[in-house]
Structure 1
Amino acid sequence: MSDPAKKRPWSLSRRLIVSLTISLGTLWIIAAALAGWAAVHETNEIFDSALQETAQRLLPLALDDLDEVDEHDGRAIDDATTFKGHQEYLIYQFRDRAGRVVLRSHDAPADAFPASLAHGFADVDGQRFYTEPTADGAFAIQVTEKEAHRYRALIRGLISLIVPLLVLPPIAGLIIWRTVAGSIRPLRAVREEIAARGGSNLQPLPEVGLPSELAPIVRDINRLIERLGAALEAERAFAANSAHEMRTPVAAALAQVQRLGTELAGTPQHARIVQIEDALRRLASRVGKLLQLSRADSGIAITSENADLLPILQLVIDEYARTPENTGRILLDTGSLDRLPARIDIDAFAIVFRNLLENALLHGARGRPVRVALAPDRSIHVANDGPVVTPDMLRRLTQRFVRGRTSAEGSGLGLAIAEKILDQAGGRLELHSPAIGRSDGFEAVIRLS
């Protein structure tokens, strides 16, 4: 069963766009349905009114025409219906009390309409009739309209309401998307500003141009950043001051212990003096790492000038190669490069390379060589023999005070310091185990900016 906490986070903009589009579409459908119902009702009323008005208008005209009809012998009917043919939506018949057709429009049939002569509206055989009799009931006029014509008009009106439903939702969705995207743009900007903050960048977030709903949140975040910056600064100052204050006493104590060891050489106490000396050396190394860490936190790597790092590389290698336990272990391959330009402070780079080389010498297989190679892309590879480091441990090695499974001495700070400095200089540190192109070992790669 999946953990609800690991589900994909929902998107505010997507939810707003979908909700508003569906809501507007639903409201449009409801409005179109109500408008369609009202259009049908109003259209029927208009057509019925047209039938009634036509009948009432034609009735007096038909009565006047009766004076010209010769005893209703039908000749006047033929004469009255010899107009040029054209389509008529409304047709009529003027009938007497007996139901005979006295006058009719040219499209009207010669036979009497099937509707009765009762006053008012009637629906017969798919036609809508309106009958208007004279005051004495001697004659009546009937006007009719085919319901098919009325239905066509109604359908055209409904189509004009329905067709926009196919076009407006996508357009409304696009408008909503652009509106929502523009509205949450400040939120995205704040998110990017927060993502850019870290231990080396605790600048306050910009508060200009923010909506009123977001401005209080940014102000609270800035207060939190300010408190965090003060806490980190106090921690760094404590670490740096402590390391600096401890450096001289530790060096003095180590010198005294070494002198004491010389004086007690050959005595039973000499072994204990050697143990104390080793402990003081480890303490001095830890103090040195803390000083490097404080320098890395202060942004030592940032510079605007390029420097040739190859001499620094060779100088550090010579420094370690002169020690008896490392003689002949460090193999340098500069490839085709005679220069190694990069935009990083040379002291900062020396700290990075010294930590990686020291890490390889301490934790690599005892007596086996450490290979330092320069690639054509100016990357620096430091590889050593040894067992494979697990992927989980490999990901954690750049965290402070984290050490792999090794019996060698170490503070767990070297790789963290190296990654911190390279990140400041725009480069990066890559760790591989097994080493690149091998089935065992460990390799650290410096990617310079």
Structure 2
Amino acid sequence: MITAPDTLAGRLTRTLTLWVGAVWILCVLAVVWYVDREINKNFDNELVEVSHRMFDIAVEELDRRQPEVRPGAPLIAPTPLFPDAAVIYQLVDRDDRVLLRSAETPPDTFAVPNKPGFANLEAWRIYTVRHPTRELFLQVADPVSDRRKALNHTMLGLLIPLVAVMPLLALLLRRIARGELQVLRELADEIARRSGADLRPITLPGLPRELKVVGDDVNRLLERLSQALDVERALAANAAHELRTPLAAARLRLQTALDHDLRRSDVQAALNALHTLAHRAEKLLQLSRAESGASLARGRVDLVRLAATVAQEFWQEDRARDRLDLEVPETDAAPIVMGDFDALAIALRNLIENGLNYAGESRVLVEVTADCHLIVRDAGPGVSEAELGNLKQRHQRYTAERTGYGLGMSIVATIIAKHGARLELRSPPAGLVTGFEARIVLPPA
């Protein structure tokens, strides 16, 4: 083959050449069938025309030589009736006696019934015509080999160009295939140039529809890879930012305890620092999971059950047992949304934790509405309008006196965005003078 079969251009060239050749051959066969019909039709018309033209001439020849007629011995025409073409014929009566025949007539040429019309033998096509006034029949024979020869010439005239053109067609198809596949090579080159340091989308104008789909899918893959790398870098940056202080505090406290014979206050301070470290590590893992969107399920979530489960966890703690309230809708149909139960629980847990941390001595209310809203509200000091706009950014704390790492609200915002929902923040809530409200607006299932 002209092109290597292991290349796409080679496969296309080979397949197209074979199919074009096959279609061409089918067309040739159809043309041959049609031409065969036309050749037979033309030869038959010519045979009929010759028969009618020479009938009277043959009858005149018979009448002129009537004295020479002998029983069982037909007269032989001395010269062809048509000098430019030898015509094989014979003149018979109604009793099938041959009265006159051409000198070129081979034996058994007219072994057909004496009946007007066409008849076929293996080597001859016979036409019989009856005289309009006398009981005489003229039979004219046309060799089938002439018809076959004309048909063979037609077939050769169609097949020889095919054989001659096929190599040129293969070359042309190869060039066309290579030209059309150039854009595929460009796309492959663009994909090959992408790396962890270069995840820009691929932009190639003029892509055909099939390759545009591939390019769009590759761009989506590059976007997911870029997001995954961003999450990894953010986790590293957040870990460096958030874990440095508690690690240093734990080391300092433990070293102080060793230097002072393990004083209880120093050991307790070290334990507190390690607790802070574990808490921050948990927050970082939550944020990493939320930003990556990993393992987010899509199932039916009962918001009443979700809120009750999270509240029950806090009611196990002394600080929240008397400060956390839960309010659910009084209806038999529980509000159901599509989402990830665990991820939404993390978001709600962070909102409640922020409320307990920043609301002072105020009570914190968790409310579930029938229209699929999750609300965490307190009547604490609240935040200013300027601070309210920055709460969704990581490492933002709105009270310096309270414990917080600036990650909780960022985790919530990320999880809610992954669910296609909204996070609305208000300070103060509607109907209160002070306080803070975080509302998660989820689309119903």
TM-score by length of 1: 0.44
